[in-house]
Structure formats: C-alpha cells, structure tokens
Structure 1
Amino acid sequence: MVIRVAMNRISPALLSIIILFSMVAGAKARTPALKYPGKSAGGLSVEVPAGWLADQADANVKDRIRRLRDRIRNDLSLIVVVTGHTDTFGSPAENMAIGYYYAHEVANQLTTVSGFPEDRIDIRSAGESGALVNHGGHDAQRLNRRVVVSLASPLEKVIKPLPEPGTNPGRVLILEPRAGTVNRSYQRLTAIVEGDSNTALLTVNGISSLIAVNKSRIESEIVLENGDNLIEVMAWDQSGRFGRDQVKVVYVPPPPQVELTHPVDGDVFNTTISPVIQVNGQIMSKTILRETFLFLNGSPRRIEVDSQGRFSQPIVLIREKNKLRVEALDIFGKTATSPDITVKTINMAPKDMVVFLTWDKPGVDLDLHVWGPEGKHTYYRALDPYDSSEAIPGGALDLDDKDGFGPEVFTLADGPEGIYTIGARYHHSLKGTPCKAQVTVVLHPAEPSRRITRIFGPFTMSPGINSNWTVARVSFPHESFVSGSSQK
C-alpha cells in the first residue's frame, strides 16, 4: 500500500526555518554507510510522504515497515535504501539537497522508532528527477514530495561511487573549524562552495540542516559534543554535479577553575566571639561537576555547589595557622584546585578535643551529640553552657549544619575529667535517604607533639533503622580512646 499526503514545498526563503526545525526535531543525517548505489532486491518497498512520522503511520504501512526491518535483520547481504524525492519547483541543486533532507528525516524515524540498524541504511536523493507530476502548483505536486524505502544488494565497483571527502576540494571546502582538538563547544563553521550552488546540506554528528549558500560561502554556528565530532558539508550545482568535504574535530572541555573569594591568604580572625568563618567562592566549569571538597588543615570535607558554581561553606578554625584549599572534580575526571591559602587566628583558646561529623548526601540532617561527665549533654538544643545548663562545661557545638554535607563541630576546652561519649543521630523529623557518616576526633589539635587524630566510619545511617550511632568514648585527662565505632 502506498500512502501519499500533501506537504508544503520548502522554498529557499524558508531555509532558515528548516535549519531550526531540523535541530529541534533531531533529524539524523548519515554519511551513506555504503558510498555507492546498489542493485534493487525487488519485491518489498514502501513509500511515505516527506515528514513522515513512524508512530502515526496506519497499520498497513507499519506492517510493511516491520517486514522490511525483519528482512534486513535476517539477510546481512541487504541494505535499506532511503531515497528522497521533491517537486519540480526551484533549481535541481536545491532539490537534490531537499531530497537528502527528506530522506534523513525518514531514516531517523526508521532507526529511532522502528528499530532499523543504523549502519545498514543508505541515504540518497533523487531530487526532482523522479517527479510523478510535472505541472500545477504546490498542492498539485504534493505527490512528488515523498520518500521511498526499499531493499538493495550492494554492487561495489559496478557503479561509480559518490566522491570521497576532499577529492574535489575546489567545489566544497570547510575552512573552519579545522581538524584537530578544541576546548570550546561553540564553533563557527565557514565553508566555500564554488560554482552556482545556492543550497547545501550541513551535517554535524548526524544532525542535518539545509543551509543557504551566499556568494559561494557558508557561515553557520555549530555546537560540538564532548569527544569526536564529524562535520560534513554537501552541495550540488545547477547541473547536478556533487561535492562534499568533512572534518573531524575533537572537543575536550577545559578543566574547571576554582576561585576563592573569602577568606584571602593572610587574613587574621579574632576567635574570641566565634571560631566559625565562612569560605566563599565559585567554580567555573564547562562540564557537570561530580563532587567538590574543602580541605581544612589537610582534612577533606564535601561541600555543596549551586547551579552557578557558587559555594558558601562554614568552617571552624582550630589552630593558630589554618590552611585552606578547594578542589573540584567533573564527570570526566578532570580536577581543578584553588591555590592554598593560610589564615591565622588570635585569642585562640587551646582545645583539648575537636569532633567533626560529616556525611555524603545533600539534604540530610545528622546531629552530633556528646555526653560528658555528670550527665551533661551537648547537642543542637544545648549548644554550650551559656545556652543551656544541660550542656557540657567547657564544651560547645560551634557548628550545627542542617543541610549540605556537614560538618557539625564540637569543641572542648578545660572540660571536667571523666568519660566523653560521642554519638550521631539521624534527625527524627526527616524521612530522608540513607547516607554514610564519618566522624573525625582530634585531641589537642593546636599542639603537634600531643595531637592525636582518629577517624571513625563510614557508617550507614538512615531514618528508623540505624538512626543512632555511638561513635567513640574518650577519657580525660588520660587522653585515651576507651572504645570506638560501635552501633547503638
């Protein structure tokens, strides 16, 4: 069964609209898998209107398409020939380009919707040479605007193949971009098309567009994908002579760049009021970021970055000299690191113990708890002795993070003697996803000769089950770990 439906003629005045449509619709153009015509396999073929959509075809056409697909799957000696036909309006060169455009659209439907193997499809154009109606207006010639899908057996060396890219550089020559590696996805295409061609077919990674030739020159904006990109220009002159050129361009995105805006190297902070400062900056990246870490005195912690690459992370300064650095990793494994900066503190009270709680999932709220001698308890409802009599004397929850990846930070200076129990809890009001928590305990962080650092975890925590984690028990003034990493 043959279906013919009217479709408006594509005129040169609408070429810019065609270009936009082809990019939106994703009409896939292919350099012919077999660069030579073939001998008809006979029998099974189907004719569809230009602009045909596979999912809107009637049952008879779908059945013939399915039979074509099954035939080519079972007989590896066959190829699928997709030939575009146009009406007789316009020049022969323009109609050859439009015929290819029609064929590209249908071939895309066959591969993406109907399941045809892409490497067995041969794209061709008959232009206006196969017109069924040679008179009348656009409506009268609607039967001419069609695509024929058929089977063929390739006959290499029997019929002259299409010219290879670059064999006729005087007719079609791509000037920009040049073959090689670039670090920008946006590129401007410039090509020379000699002769009297007024229409060409531009193909970038299988996406085709009809484009006008202005004074033997083509200019267009293109966007490259990560990795290899094949760019091809095909054109026909008024006598039907064919030329093409292609280049292969490799797009390698530049690595991210990290900028720290606060603090700056050499800043001095008075910690009498609070040891907490804010680290601000931005990551400039052409690619998606996988993860970002802030390093404080060599200890890493994951931080959140917004859609613009900005970050603002609170930290607790625990030494007189503190080194900061931010490192970003994109999805391609490329890293970028900010310069190391050093910030100093004044009026820093010596700390006996500092505890950091971090986790690996955003949108999770874990709470750090420390139980001290005499039943004292420091947590988000008892931040320090000034906030609540329940809190541990000499202790403080300096940072209570309710979002991001933490940290929550507890510090202790001149606390009472006895056993301190460190724990983490998944906040009871949330029904979030499981996460992996990690706790770092540092004894005497500002005294290198006495400093002891222990890391506990990662420990999987989730609402309900495993919502509590008893991390470690530390004895003062013995400065020893009684136990660690047990589950409560």
Structure 2
Amino acid sequence: MRWVISLLITLVCAQVAWAEQPTAELSEPVGGWRYHGLLDRSENPRVAYPTPPIDRGVQRNRTMIEGQLKALGTLRPPHSLAVNGNPLNLYTDDQGRFARPYAFGAGSNSVEVRSSEGKSLKRVQFYEANNLRTPARIRVVLGWDDPKAELDLHIITPDGQHAFWASPAMSNGGGLDPDGVDGPGPEMFTMTAPMHGTYLVYVNYWGNYGSGGYNFDENSNQNEVITSQINLVLNENTVDEKRETFIVPLRAIGDLLLVKTFNY
C-alpha cells in the first residue's frame, strides 16, 4: 500500500513540475519564406520590455522579435534569445511579454527562445527573400549579468570614428543599435559595408541603474563582479562567417577595457 501512495505522490509531483515548465510563443517573426519591402519600418517602433531603452537606433528596415513567455511563476530567472546564433538577454513585462527590434539581412535567419538552463523553448526559421537587405559584415553584441549595472560598448573604426552612446551613428555607415540603457543590455554595433583596416572594441563600466535612475554608488549594483559577454561576428549569415566570444569581468565603475583589436 505504501508503494502505491508513494507512486501516486511521485506522479502528482511530476505533473506539477511539468505544469510549471515555462513555454514561449513567437508572434513575430513568422517562419517560412517571406519578402519584406523597404518601407515596412514603423515610425514608432516598439522596443524591449519591461522598460523601453532609448531608441537611438540608426538601422532601418528592422523586424520586431515579439512574443510571450508563459508559466514563469514567481521566479524570473534570466532567459535568452539566440538570433542567428547571437545570444541576447531576454527580459519581459509582468505578463511575460517581450518585443525587440532587429535588423535582419537577406537569406536564412533564425530566432530561438531559450530558458535559463539553455533549453530551447521556441524556434523560428525564415528566409528573407529581399536581397536589398544586406547582411551584417561586422556585428558586435554586448550583454552582461547585472541588471543594476550600466555598461557601454565603444567601437573605433579604421577612419578614427568612435561609436558609443553619445554618438551612435557614423558617417561611414556603422552604427550602435540598439543602445541598451536600462541594464543589462544588449548593446549592438553593426556595419553592412565595412571599410578595410583595424577596428577596436572596448567595454566600459559606466555606472549603475536602479529605480531612481542612474547613479554612481559603488554598492548599488547587484554583483560584486559583473560578467560581460562580447560576441564578434564577421560576415554574418554567409559561408565566410566567423565568430569569437569574449568573457570580460568588470569590478569598478570607470573600468574601460580593450576587448579586441581586429582587421577586416
């Protein structure tokens, strides 16, 4: 009799655990073959939940990545998006909804929602048939693990131009988009027609961010050591694609570190 009761308890616990497993929906983008024209960009694009970052974006023809996480319960561990293999931190509103703009190039693209354990919750693959949408030749993505810290991505291009939060658009076609200002990113730099020469990639621990806004209190961040992840992708979505990932620890406000020097 005891083993029957034990089995019933185990089955009930398993059902409860299964019911509590998070799931994900993606309403945009949709899978399959599609053609998006040059005028499909909203004049007032929605941005990431829960608090919209300042939209300093310089890219055009962006597609929304939009959906909802369900069965999150009271715990909200960090989930992630993998967009064409690029990991992005995923944050939602109280209903689990998220929305984020992304500049997809022509060809095969994918969006995957992953749980905090790395489990795939939802994946969509689509083929963008508009060949006027040039794939990114240089893409640099910065994310970090402290929602109360504000980190900044800085890029120096071969002609000496400097892309950062106060100057996101370059005359050479490069740009910072999006510029995550509400912690913990992402920040992303993109060039579709890069010039040849040497590029410098920096990360800066600028300050902290909380309910009262920005501050420079050394004790107001969440983690003693902030772990930033920088992903460098060259010739994205082509047969010549190359990727590198850098894990960089930051400890004090004002830290400015050279992450990578590379030639294109």
TM-score > 0.5 by shorter chain: yes
Report how far residue 392 of structure 1 moved.
Answer: 5.4
**In the superposition, relative to structure 1, how do residues 422 and 392 fare at CA in structure 2: closer, same or farther (>3 Å)?**
farther
Distance (Å, rounded) in 1 between the aligned partners of 2:203 and 2:237: 25
Distance (Å, rounded) in 1 between the aligned partners of 2:115 and 2:83: 15
**In the superposition, relative to structure 1, how do residues 365 and 343 fare at CA in structure 2: closer, same or farther (>3 Å)?**
farther
In structure 1, which of residues 395, 406, 410 is the aligned counterpart of residue 185 of structure 2?
Answer: 406
Residue number in structure 1 paired with 2:235: 444
In structure 2, which of residues 15, 23, 29 is the aligned counterpart of residue 257 of structure 1?
Answer: 23
Distance (Å, rounded) in 1 between the aligned partners of 2:76 and 2:136: 36
SS in structure 1 at match of 2:115:
strand
Is the CA contact (8 Å cut-off) linking 1:425 and 1:468 kept in structure 2? yes
Report how far residue 326 of structure 1 moved.
Answer: 0.7
Report how far residue 180 of structure 1 moved.
Answer: 4.0
Report how far residue 275 of structure 1 moved.
Answer: 4.7
Which 4+ runs in 1 deviate beyond 6 A? none
Is the CA contact (8 Å cut-off) linking 2:84 and 2:237 kept in structure 1? no
Distance (Å, rounded) in 1 between the aligned partners of 2:123 and 2:243: 25
Distance (Å, rounded) in 2 between the aligned partners of 1:365 and 1:382: 17
Distance (Å, rounded) in 2 between the aligned partners of 1:474 and 1:423: 12
Residue number in structure 2 paired with 1:416: 195
| Alignment RMSD | 3.1
Greater helix share, 1 or 2?
1
Report how far residue 252 of structure 1 moved.
Answer: 3.1
Residue number in structure 2 paired with 1:474: 262
Report how far residue 415 of structure 1 moved.
Answer: 3.5
SS in structure 2 at match of 1:394:
coil
Distance (Å, rounded) in 2 between the aligned partners of 1:344 and 1:438: 28
**In the superposition, relative to structure 1, how do residues 340 and 416 fare at CA in structure 2: closer, same or farther (>3 Å)?**
closer
Equivalent residue pairs, number = 225
1:434-462 Cα distance to aligned partner (Å, 9 max, x none): 421111111111321x22111111x1224
Is the CA contact (8 Å cut-off) linking 2:86 and 2:141 kept in structure 1? no
Residue number in structure 1 paired with 2:52: none
Residue number in structure 1 paired with 2:88: 301
Residue number in structure 1 paired with 2:50: none
1:79-108 Cα distance to aligned partner (Å, 9 max, x none): xxxxxxxxxxxxxxxxxxxxxxxxxxxxxx
Is the CA contact (8 Å cut-off) linking 2:86 and 2:231 kept in structure 1? no
Residue number in structure 1 paired with 2:243: 453
Is the CA contact (8 Å cut-off) linking 2:109 and 2:127 kept in structure 1? yes
Report how far residue 318 of structure 1 moved.
Answer: 4.1
Q: Structure 1: 5+ residue runs without aligned partners?
A: 1-164, 167-177, 184-226, 229-249, 385-390, 477-488
Is the CA contact (8 Å cut-off) linking 1:359 and 1:405 kept in structure 2? yes
1:300-352 Cα distance to aligned partner (Å, 9 max, x none): 222112332222233332452211111224xxx69561143325262212433
Structure number with greater CO (CA < 8 Å, separation at least 6) is 2
In structure 1, which of residues 277, 282, 286 is the aligned counterpart of residue 63 of structure 2?
Answer: 277
Highest Rg: 1 or 2?
Answer: 1
Is the CA contact (8 Å cut-off) linking 2:156 and 2:163 kept in structure 1? yes
Is the CA contact (8 Å cut-off) linking 2:206 and 2:253 kept in structure 1? no
Residue number in structure 2 paired with 1:379: 164
In structure 2, which of residues 152, 156, 163 is the aligned counterpart of residue 367 of structure 1?
Answer: 152
Residue number in structure 2 paired with 1:320: 107
SS in structure 1 at match of 2:77:
strand
Distance (Å, rounded) in 1 between the aligned partners of 2:111 and 2:140: 18
TM-score (norm: length of structure 2):
0.72
Is the CA contact (8 Å cut-off) linking 2:30 and 2:124 kept in structure 1? no
Q: Write the mapping of 1:120-131 to structure 2, written as runs, cut at 5 A.
A: none
Distance (Å, rounded) in 1 between the aligned partners of 2:72 and 2:196: 54
In structure 2, which of residues 121, 137, 152 is the aligned counterpart of residue 337 of structure 1?
Answer: 121
1:148-190 Cα distance to aligned partner (Å, 9 max, x none): xxxxxxxxxxxxxxxxx99xxxxxxxxxxx944566xxxxxxx
SS in structure 1 at match of 2:166:
coil
SS in structure 2 at match of 1:369:
strand
Is the CA contact (8 Å cut-off) linking 2:82 and 2:113 kept in structure 1? yes
Distance (Å, rounded) in 1 between the aligned partners of 2:190 and 2:92: 27
Q: Structure 2: 5+ residue runs without aligned partners?
A: 40-58, 208-213
Amino acid at match of 2:263: S
In structure 2, which of residues 164, 174, 195 is the aligned counterpart of residue 395 of structure 1?
Answer: 174
Residue number in structure 1 paired with 2:226: 435
**In the superposition, relative to structure 1, how do residues 268 and 405 fare at CA in structure 2: closer, same or farther (>3 Å)?**
farther
Distance (Å, rounded) in 2 between the aligned partners of 1:442 and 1:264: 24
SS in structure 1 at match of 2:182:
coil
Distance (Å, rounded) in 1 between the aligned partners of 2:231 and 2:109: 17
Percent sequence identity over matched residues? 24
Report how far residue 395 of structure 1 moved.
Answer: 1.2
TM-score (norm: length of structure 1):
0.41
Q: Write the mapping of 1:28-427 to structure 2, written as runs, cut at 5 A.
A: 179-181=8-10, 227=13, 251-254=16-19, 255-266=21-32, 267-270=34-37, 274-285=60-71, 287=73, 288-329=75-116, 335=119, 337-342=121-126, 344=128, 346=130, 347-384=132-169, 391=170, 393-427=172-206
Is the CA contact (8 Å cut-off) linking 2:176 and 2:187 kept in structure 1? yes
